[in-house]
Amino acid sequence: MTTATGAAFLNGGLTVLSEEEELFRASVREFAEGEVRPRVETMEHASKLDPDLIKQCFELGLMAIESPEEFGGAGSTIFNAILAIEELARVDASVSVFVDVHNTLVTNAFMRWANDEQKKRYMPQLATDKVGAYALSEASSGSDAFALKTRAVDKGDYYELTGQKLWITNGNEAEIFVLFATVDPDAGYKGITAFIVEKGFEGFSVGKKEDKLGIRASSTTELILDNCKVPQENILGEVGKGYKVSIETLNEGRIGIGAQMLGIAQGAFEAALKYTQEREQFGQAISNFQAIQFQLAEMAVEIEATRLLVYNAARRKDAGQPFLKEAAIAKLYSSRVAEAVSSKAIELYGGYGYVKDYPVEKFWRDSKIGAIYEGTSNMQLQTIAKLIMSGK
């Protein structure tokens, strides 16, 4: 954290950006406007990210924001990562979550839990050309994340993994997976272990891609492990400590989802504002009517409140301060605001907002996932309640 940014954080100026952060935000916005926006409609209809865009994300360093410089990354902060996620979501939530998961879940897991050899082998790949994915969820383990059925059996030089993963973001594009399985079902969460799984490993395959309501260009797939052979040296962390890997990684990931929802809300608001200034009724722009102005003002208030919550969680994390409650609050609130603001944007567009020729219906569809993935809204409420009841 720079001196200027640190001072802003301590003084409560959470939305004050350093010069470096302003430049970074501007560069991501230029990329989002110039390269992402022209591809949004095509990617939405194809339900697939443009491969050239994926390549550009690597070339611009968006896939290695926090990764150390020695491994080809920028060695930057989670705050810069959430700035990128926010700016991308302002244009397209699918590209945003693609970058988000790679940074806040996969790279973060390697930074925190990989040993030196694993870092040397995998982190340069994740920084330059290999997409990462995070594989925790299964059919029977959603909010009950540790009710895993995927089994890992010790075969000496390797573990044999058998099972099925669901709802895996980046499933089609990824080549490196942080994947969770249990080495002992009777041990409950203490049997959960994290593994580094490569797409080319024997017994590993990607299953069907889900046909989703929103973030349609983002691939959400199943993974099939049919006696998949994973070398002993690919255990991430320690045997039986996978629950700790997953919990601590997801805590940071929730700040990323908060930033994604913030970007969606901002994008929907900007589209609505522009439309109301152009749309004429009764001989004048509808933005001249106080009823419309008040609705826009309410949207702006909610977005700014969301920005404060998301930025606060990221600043706390970068400053080494506790951020679990703040991350849960940011994710909970941002998902509500994204859905409410994008819904209001549809109403301000009137009938035009309900058709796919205009952008706001997509913002609304993309917003709904915020209340579901990386911890449902009810799970965030549970986390917040536990922490405030315990005095933390």
Give every CB contact of residue 75 below 8 A, 6+ residues apart in sequence: 66, 67, 68, 69
The single-letter DSSP state of residue 237 is S
Residues designated catalytic: 374
Taking the C-alpha atoms of residue 36 and residue 197, their distance in angstroms, rounded to an integer, is 30
User: Which amino acid does the sequence have at 91?
Assistant: V
Structure tokens at 241: 């400590």
Angle between helices 290-318 and 242-278 (to 10 degrees): 150
